[in-house]
Structure 1
Amino acid sequence: MSRLLAVFAAFSLVAVAVLYYAGLDTYHSLSPQGCRMSWMWPSYVLQTQFDHTWTPLARRYSLWLYREANRESNELHGAPVLFIPGNAGSSHQARSIASSAANQYYSSPYQVSQEFADKSYRGLDFFAVEFNEDLSAFHGPTIDSETTYAARAIDYILSLYPPHTSILVLGHSMGGVVATALLPNANISAIITMSSPHTLPPVRFDRRIDHIYAQNHKSLASDPTPILSLCGGATDLMIPSESCILSPTVLKFDSTLYRRTVFTSALEGCWTGVGHLAMVWCHQVRWRIARAALELAAVQTAEERALVMERWLRDGHILPPATFPRGTVRLGPGQYQRAPVNQHLLIRDPVGTETYALPLPPPEEGQTMAKFVLYASQGSVPPVAPHRPLPFRATIYVCDGDGELSCTPLDPTTLKLVPSPIPDSPFPVPDEGSDESDGVVLYEADVALNAGSHVAVTIENGDRHGWVFAGFAESELMNIDVGFTSLLLSYVDISLPSSIRVQVKLPIVPANALIVYRLTPRFDLESSCTSEAVLLPLLTHTSHLSETHYFPLAPNFARPILLHSHAAAPYILSDHPVGHTLTIHSTGECSVNEIQLTVDWWATIGRWGSRYGTAAACWAVGIVSVIMWDVFRSAGNSAPIPDVQEALIFFARKRLPLMVVGCYFVSLLPLRVGLWLGNGGNHYFAPLAMILLPITFGLVCVMWWLLRILLWPLQRALMLFGRQREDTALRRPRTAIMSMMLIFLVIFVLVPWQVAFLGCWLIHFYTCASSLASVASHTSAIGTEAVPLVAMPREGETSEETIDNARRPPTPRQQLLVQQTSAHLHLLLFMTWLLPLVAPVLAVWVRTLATAGLTTPFDGDHNFLYVAPFLILVEVLSGGDAGVYAKAFFGCDREERLSPKWGMAALAVVAFFTGPRTTYMVFEMASVAVGWAVMTRIVPAYWDAAS
């Protein structure tokens, strides 16, 4: 075993372990989950009438109606809703949302809740399609089958209702992709997706997935159906949440269309990251989806549906429709209480109705505006309030005058619900999170600093519960030009003024999914940061219009404050690649006078593995292709075919250093985001390529040794029990052609080509073991020392010098066996790294067979041309004249205009540049490269030998 290769292998294994454990730690430290478990009393009714007369896929899938057994009967009684599960999902995942809808609509069995009885609401009939846990994320034709079935399911469901009935569609994960693929459909009222990768598929193992996403992007850009996408954020370890964002930059949809993205960390009443599977059962999410579904069934127009989703699934980035009274209100001197200038208003346990007037602070030099801030704990500032709020409500006016005030409603710039963390408890609370009735209404408005003006706050219906705090802060934000380099190498301290609201803008700091920052607050020692404070400092981190995170700032909150973003990410075009906004709200009792900012390397590393795993697999193919190119070059110069280990050592010494340096400069090129590592030439991420390449090469070394370990027992068994094939007689061409045509027919009709490739690999694995056994048996039979496999010739060294430098030149028979074995092993390593590109589709096929049987159509994977070159090559290399064909395959035909080695070079370019984004192209190029060599070298040699 080479020490150099061992170093790379060890480095690679350690790096993979670090990436894995850092990624797992994301769930606990970067964005911990605080979800309450949901409970239900499920009952499922199979829709037997939706059979093969509606769709032939009824033999493969099924449709179910959910019923809450302790609330509703099995008869249809409401508005239809269709739930579509995702990759390996189940129709039973609909139960959490359906149960919540039933329990909200019915207060007791068959008794409609008073909240809905007096309005034009109906209950919901929750239908769910059962896809038998199909692995749709890996296979475009499976998505097509699910879309076809779901479309017919909608037709069947609506046939059970009066004409012109519309249906709401909910989709989880890839179910959201299927839901979008149903468009255009005039019968779909709205679509709500949960953790669905809209802009970028999780993987691309066939061209059909690209076509589906292209069609979906057209629908998202033009179809009038309202669509809302819920994203779980960093807690979702199954899909990168940047692909969940309905981005106008990527999708190019018009602003008049309702396309909204809401991260659960910003979702009012939720305020926590939500895992991929937890998205359908997290109580804080499911009850809001259910409530939105109930109200969507009661409205008719797309505008009304958009307003419903904005009300129940909002994150505060968009202001709700104003419901303040318009016109002028006059307040006499006895109708309000005047607060002192520059004093804050704090009303604990408000009683009855009172109005308070706050004089505007005197303007400082150059200051013309002030920011008025109000916090209302568990009360309401119409139309925003927690669920089941306290009775009191606050209304805000801007007034002119001295004694008698003439007031008009003050329109807010911010009006949303923010969390109120529990002192001395983690946030979010594990397995609990926030109660939907908790929360503080945050109201902000810009006020012109006019002499004699006031801001009046009217508090109505106080019942001695809750509190209201109001005051003025500077309206201008602090622009801090912190460079990313300073955060990489050290940390930056930012001093903050003492205020009830401080906003800091970091305009040039990258907001990318690959980077995590650590923020450390420092408190004023003279301030009171105890649980007695009305509102402890609350940090709001915003890096994208759809993404907000909340962090409590107090000495007793032990969780590290890690700032992360999905505004920009690899392979996705972004309109917010830089810039963070940090806002700290408090009542001033506990004051933060400084924050320290730096890069958190452990969390940052945890973000790399999930985004570059596919890139590593494709780059491994690229590395093996370069090694194969070296083998073609060496054999083409009449040198022996080198041993795999020596070829790896040659690559490590000669190719890898140059490629590492080249990777850095390629990463600086302004390439399209779909190429290379998808960072568009951002120099901050150029070193990632220099790290990924050695890691990937180490994985190639590990795979080589693993293959040798797996080959050893079969090799020993063949030496002990097997018979070595000594005859070199060729099968007749007609027989070989007929056998190959039969295999092609089976692929075309029955099995996908990926299965045939797996069969090729298994046959060649056996061939390699047999070749190793032949070398060992022949060496033992003639009583010589073990024959060393031939080393890679050094630069400038001829093949004759290489042979002379060997410790004991092999006999012609030994040389033939060694060359044959080396060729077999090179091809085995090459085919092994192609296996991960076809294995997921194999899993889909096996899963489909297990659930639907042999009669299930498996369209789209029967092009035998993909695997034909490998079938032919494996066939000829497993015969008695394998050594001849191995030499022909890697050797050189002087009459060739263009050597097949350039096919390997083209494959390496595809694997490095386009493979991580379009994985299927790597195998297609590999098939072309091998087919080129087979057609120009193997086929002529075969016919010449046969004739």
Structure 2
Amino acid sequence: MLRRLSGSHKPHQSHTYLDAAPARRHGPEIDNDTGYLFVPQLSQQQATDLYSGEEANPSPFSTRGFAGDTRQTTPSNSTNRQENAMSFESQIFSPIINNSMEGHKLRRSRPRNLWSCSLLTISLTVLSAISLYGIIHSYMTRQIDPQGCKTPRMMPTYIQLIGFDTEHTRFASKYRLYLYRERTVDEYSEQDIGLRGVPVLFLPGNAGSYRQGRSLASEASLYFQDAISHDQEKLDAGTRSLDFFMADFNEDMAAFHGQTLLDQAEYVNEALAYILSLYHDPRRSGRDPNLPDPSSVILIGHSMGGIVARTVLTMSNYQANSVNTIITMSTPHARPPVSFDRDVVRTYKQINDYWREAYSQRWANNNPLWHVTLISIAGGGGDSIVPSDYTSLSSLVPETHGFTVFTSTIPNVWTGMDHLSIAWCDSFRKVIIRSLFDMVDVRRSSQTKQRAERMSVFKKWYLTGMEAISERSLPQKDPSTLLTLEDNTNSILPQGQRLVLRGFGNRQLPEAHLLPIPPQGASGKKFTLLTDQLLDSPGGNGKLEVLFCSVFPLRAGHSAALLSSNMDLSGGSAGSTRLACKSAMEDAINLPASTRSSKFAFDDALPFSYLQYNLEDLMEHQFVAVIDKAAKRSSGWLVAEFSDSSDALIQTKVGLGRLLATGLDIRLPAERPMLTEVKIPALHSSLLAYKLRVGKQPCGEHAELFTPLLRQYISEPHESKYFVNVKEADINLHGVAPYMPPHLRDRSAMRGISFQLWSDPSCNASTELSLRVDIIGSMGKLAMRYRTVFAALPLLVTALVLRKQFQIHDTTGLSFYLGAFDQFLTSLGIFIPFSEALDLCLRISLPLLFIILTFVSASLATSNSGMDNSEKASTDWRSNSTESAINFTRNDLLLGSQDSFFWFLVPLFGLISIGLCVVVNYVVMALIYGLATIRSVLVSRRGYIKHDDPRPAAIYPSLSSRQRIINSAVLLCFVATVIPYQFAYLVACLVQLATCVQTLQYARESKSNSQYNFYNYVHSIFIPQRGYTGYVPVLQLGHTAVHWWTPSPSHHNVLSIMPFILLVETLTNGNMIPRRTSRLRHVTSALFIILAVYAALYGVTYAYLLHHIANIVTAWLVGVHFASSGFLFRSLNQAFEGSSFGEDGPPGTNGNIKKLP
């Protein structure tokens, strides 16, 4: 007798009940209380005849009977029993399936057109394409910072240090160490490689070459020969040449493999010990024996090489104090560039935690990094490999030990750079090498100056000099020049008057112009001076010298002994005034020249000289003396003045909403200082871009001394951009960025963008500033900051679509039980196409989830903002230590936004993700259709035909079960020992593609619903498998191609690949996944929901866990395939349902292909 699957309700005795969804109108009769279909009662003999294939009484649904198959059958043969069961299915239950659909109204009277697409899906896909095109087009064409790098020339020679072999490191067969020598400059031979200077080690980045360090090494050799070697004062101060060593990491892809990072750091520590040992060997070192042997090496890292440099100090084989200076270029310090590898994320956390904990120590003796200085240099918006936001050290290092600066900030560089050019840019390499020569001191065993002195050198060379942390040398200097003037001189300007000079050498004699310094009681005063001439040193032969003077109290006879320079402008007059003066030359700030012919800040032009002092810095002086020393008339100009901060500073309170609506317009009055500064605290996000327009300034009868010069800057990180001859400027910044950890210091004074405008005050004309949000240009800023989102959110969409497909599959169709044989005959479910399930999700589940995520994103941003205020109120950042109570992971969730203004990004990225899923689905379908068509043509030419068979067919029918098990076992053994599991994914993807192709071919030939169901199933499984795992073999190809036999345990985890291999192998057998009609079906739904939610919340920050969750989902599907008829699922059914009956699905059946006679 046919019995119910589950439940306590007993069916009517005159009917047999079949588990099914609610029937459509004109379909079979429905028992509304039980939800089962029923057909007339069958006797046990009729059921036996049906299952054995023997024709008995005619079927109530067919005139031919239940087993109308014309093929010969043998009742004892189990295969024939299955075939007759399928015949029973096709004759009895196909009419029921065609007429009994569930609430989604999915009528299956004939195979659905897989290419069909609803109007809603098409509309959303079009909107998605428009949005994505806008982002990409904006990124490629809008708000692009100009680049002005010149390619240097060099004559490199690389000496491989073959002595650094397996006796020193276990990585000698994989990595190598080189010494750079410039031909025609450096002296070296086979016996003497010429080690006479300070050791420097260059570390390349991800897939980088050691040869990238040749630009810096060549400049070091040339500059020492041309300048340092002839400067006895520098030589006496301990300056020597730089010996550049280079690590060859064989272009390993360290950004995608954490173990590689650790291996390289271990190798570098061993290389440091070997390099230092070379200087102890008199046969290799030509150093002065009176100098101490080096005990430390300067590290310079490009890209991930900078992370390797920081990792060196955390390794167990690190030799204490062997590194005290690290300079990194385009290095992502704050967070890993991608998070697909667990070891990379874990290694980053360990490194950053170590550095934060070290600097959180109250006492220097407890801080192992107290002597270390770390400088991070970023290329800016031109870097398309690593977002320059990630180069920030603000969450890692206090400002006493390091800082982050952009190349557009560095004086005499003033240009952005891409990820590669930062390693060879000519103007940039000159600054790096000069700063290194300024901070080395071979008289110390560390080979460098003390930490505070090194930081002063780096601030001098890398910062503009206008930052709050910039140091002025004037207050620490002693007077060096005695200036003598006539008593009745008229060169002293009235208090508050501006000094303007047009031309020099008018008197053809030295001439002094004195500006009285306001009294100390005057608050908010600032002195500024701008000129197109270089400031001369005392006793020099230049045109212009600027001195800060006070009245000299001693007699003339003592002047020569106390002051090194004497400047007498009294003309021999008996009555004279003597002033003791300090030179301001060392505090001069270079600004890019801004003239009518200027185009870019990095143009080849003599820079402007600028001085800026607060009144507090001049408290011991009474006059500013501008000395015109030109012996003949020459062109040039100078503007100097004391200004009030109330006139020079404009503090705006405009909000972002108002700025979007109306913009910001500021009118600068005609009577204004030379320098005007505008602060806009509300503009601090790196996701927005702006357009700034500067109105034309008429200058009357006098030609303007210089055209407007604009500086855009933020204080943390130190990013400045200059716009010369400015009329319109593209404004973008690297301020508050997504997913960035919070700062160590108080950010209240650092938030917001500021503009400094230098304009000719002698024109006495007003001008206007107009600032507008560049909406189109802002779209491009999403590309770099959120590129990983476009890999995570599509997985969310795919997970929900798969959930919908399994949900419908488990709740539609028929399941029945034959008591005569005490087993299930079949389980018929409908597995709808991916596109149809996506269309259903677009109506409720996806919009609902994205609405929830939008509110979550806004609430997280609001709470993070409140956390900033609470931490700021409870933290004193004037000390050198950090605060360990800060939650550095609070911006890891969702879109990592720290501003609720960007709530709209969640639905925007959701829309784009939906469009990407639609496109990927149809691209994959087109690929499968094309391959299936080609295969059909090839098979037909070879004379193969396929019988009409509605069952899923095996892809490799010639392989036995034993052979399949052996193949899978062999592949897993290779994964465990030789090949990384990522390549096993690639194999699984290819096999799955073959399964899709052959399944589609059978479905198109047979026109069978069951074949189309199976194709929809394997197609939907292939989409996330290809989308998520497709990137892994590509990224690991470079890593594994070079010395692939080197052990890497994290890449040989069998459990990371086993479920995928088993599932793919199961699908090649043609096994359709059985339906789960019990409560166990909710497990499938729950797993897909977990995957979707995790992809939304942590898919960007911890993307590697997506693989583990997908692995669990896959393992569950394998379990459903393999254990559906076993003891496990019967036990689970009893636990969930309380029934003694299990459930089963149809056994896997193979297709029937025969050769034409």
> Into which bin does the TM-score normalised by the smaller protein fall?
0.7 to 0.9
Q: CA deviation at 1:693?
A: 0.9
Question: Residue 534 of structure 2 is aligned with which of 355, 379, 389?
Answer: 379
State the SS of the aligned residue for 1:653. coil
Number of the residue aligned with 1:306: 455
Q: Which amino acid aligns with 1:187?
A: S
Aligned pair in 2 of structure 1 residues 503, 636: CA closer, same or farther (>3 Å)? Answer: farther
> Among residues 866, 883, 886, which one is paired with 2:1056 in the alignment?
866
Tell me, what secondary structure is at the counterpart of 1:169?
strand
| Deviation string, structure 1 residues 378-426 (Cα, Å, up to 9, x no partner) | 423889xxxx99574312247899x979888799999633222343231
Indicate if the aligned counterparts of 2:677 and 2:756 stay in contact, CA closer than 8 A: yes
Q: 2:517 aligned with 1:369, yes or no? A: no
* Map of 2:247 onto structure 1: 129
User: Matches of 1:310 and 1:449 in 2, distance apart?
Assistant: 21
- In the other structure, the counterpart of 1:64 is 178
- SS of the residue corresponding to residue 393 of structure 1 reads strand
1:911 aligns with 2:1106: no
- Do the aligned residues in 2 keep the contact of 1:55 with 1:149 (CA within 8 Å)? yes
In structure 2, the partner of 1:343 is 497
Aligned to 2:30: none
Mapping for residues 728-877 of structure 1, pairs under 5 Å:
737-779=965-1007, 814-836=1008-1030, 839=1031, 841-852=1032-1043, 854-877=1044-1067
Q: Which residue in 1 is equivalent to 2:128?
A: 12
Is 1:566 matched up with 2:718? no
Deviations 1:100-141 (A, max 9, x none): 111111139x97666755653221111111222222222222
Does structure 1 residue 177 correspond to structure 2 residue 321? Answer: no
Alpha-carbon spacing, 1:686–1:910, altered in 2? closer, same or farther (3 Å): same
What is the CA–CA distance in structure 2 between the aligned matches of 1:630 and 1:901, rounded to whole Å?
8
Between the aligned partners of 1:46 and 1:512, the Cα distance in structure 2 is: 47
Q: CA, structure 1 residues 378+62, in 2 after alignment: closer, same or farther (shift >3 Å)?
A: farther
In structure 2, the CA distance between the partners of 1:132 and 1:327, relative to structure 1 (3 Å rule), is closer
- Structure 1 position 519, deviation (Å): 0.8
Instruction: Verify: 1:684 aligned to 2:901, yes or no.
Output: yes
Give me the whole-angstrom Cα distance separating, in 2, the residues matched to 1:69 and 1:876: 64
Q: Please state if 1:600 is matched with 2:774.
A: yes
The 1:447/1:592 distance shift into structure 2, 3 A limit, reads farther
User: Which residue does 1:456 correspond to in 2?
Assistant: 624
Which of 533-542 and 110-119 deviates more?
Answer: 110-119
Q: Which residue number in structure 2 is paired with residue 445 of structure 1?
A: 614
Aligned pairs for 1:509-520 (under 5 A) are 509-520=682-693
Question: Is 1:533 equivalent to 2:704 in the alignment?
Answer: yes
1:665-710 superposed Cα distances (whole Å, 9 cap, x missing partner) = 2321125311111103x22111112211111111111101101111
1:585-623 deviations in Å (ceiling 9; x for gaps):
234145552101110123211111122121011000000
Amino acid at match of 1:456: V
Q: Structure 1 CA distance, aligned partners of 2:932 and 2:269?
A: 54
Verify: 1:933 aligned to 2:1137, yes or no.
no
What is the CA–CA distance in structure 2 between the aligned matches of 1:502 and 1:120, rounded to whole Å? 40
Which residue does 1:235 correspond to in 2?
Answer: 382
Residue 667 to residue 21, structure 1, CA distance change in 2 (3 Å): same
1:792 corresponds to: none
Q: Tell me the residue number matched to 2:46.
A: none
Note the C-alpha offset of 1:910. 0.7
Which stretch shows the higher mean deviation, 634-643 or 307-316?
307-316
Aligned to 1:98: 217
Contact 1:368–1:449 (8 Å) recurs in 2? no
Task: Give the structure 2 partner of residue 547 of structure 1.
Answer: 718
1:35 equivalent to 2:153? Answer no
Alpha-carbon displacement from aligned partner over 1:24-65 (angstroms, at most 9, x marks no partner): 235xx4321122221111121122222233223222222221
Quick one: structure 1 residues 667 and 458, their matched pair in 2 at CA, closer, same or farther if it must change by over 3 Å? same
SS at match of 2:221: helix
After TM superposition, give the deviation of residue 471 of structure 1 in Å: 0.8
Q: Does 1:485 align with 2:657?
A: yes
**Deviation (angstroms), 1:632:** 2.1
Whether the 8 Å CA contact 1:567–1:574 is kept in 2: the answer is no
Q: Give the whole-Å Cα distance in 2 for the aligned partners of 1:381 and 1:89.
A: 43
Tell me the secondary structure at the aligned position of residue 38 of structure 1: coil
In the alignment, the residues of structure 1 paired with residue 831 and residue 969 of structure 2 have an alpha-carbon distance, to the nearest angstrom, of: 31
| AA at the equivalent of 2:831 | I
Cα distance per residue 1:453-488 (max 9 Å; x no partner): 964224386566765421122223221111211222
Which of the two has higher C-alpha Rg?
A: 2
| Structure 1 residues 735 and 747: CA distance shift in structure 2, 3 A | same
Aligned counterpart, 2:3: none
The answer to whether the 8 Å contact 2:180/2:243 transfers is: yes
* Residue among 775, 781, 791 paired with 1:617: 791
Mapped to 1, the partners of 2:1041 and 2:259 lie a distance apart of: 17
Structure 1 residue 44 corresponds to structure 2 residue 158 = yes
Post-superposition CA distance 1:847-869 (Å, at most 9, x none): 234333x4233342111212222
Verify the 8 A CA contact 1:357 1:454 in the aligned structure 2: no
Comparing 896-905 with 656-665, greater Cα deviation is found at 656-665
The answer as to 2:589 corresponding to 1:416 is: yes
C-alpha distance in 2, partners of 1:747/1:449? 72
- The residue that corresponds to 1:472 in the other structure is 642
Determine if contact 2:295/2:321 at 8 Å carries over to the other structure: no
1:858 to 1:121, Cα distance in 2 relative to 1, 3 A:
same
**Quick one: which amino acid aligns to residue 11 of structure 1?**
L
Segment drifting more, 695-704 vs 129-138: 129-138
1:614-763 correspondence to structure 2 within 5 Å: 614-639=788-813, 640-670=830-860, 672-680=890-898, 682-722=899-939, 737-763=965-991
Letter paired with 1:337: S
Question: Matched residues in 2 for 1:398 and 1:207: separation?
Answer: 64
Residue identity opposite 2:1028 in structure 1: L
CA shift at 1:500, angstroms? Answer: 2.9
Following the alignment from structure 1 to structure 2, what is the Cα–Cα distance between the partners of residues 596 and 850?
55
Q: CA–CA distance in 2 between the matches of 1:39 and 1:59?
A: 32
Mapped partners of 1:762, 1:547: distance in 2:
49
Structure 2: unaligned runs, 5 residues or longer: 1-115, 281-292, 315-319, 359-368, 442-447, 554-575, 814-829, 862-889, 947-951, 1128-1143, 1149-1157
Map of 1:804 onto structure 2: none
Counterpart-to-counterpart distance in 2, 1:91 and 1:713: 45
Residue identity over aligned pairs, in percent, reads 26
Q: Tell me the distance in 1 between the aligned counterparts of 2:1029 and 2:136.
A: 22
How far apart in 1 are the matches of 2:895 and 2:1000?
Answer: 39
Is 2:466 the partner of 1:295? no
SS at match of 1:214: helix
How many aligned residue pairs are there? 880
Which residue of 1 is the match for residue 556 of structure 2? Answer: none
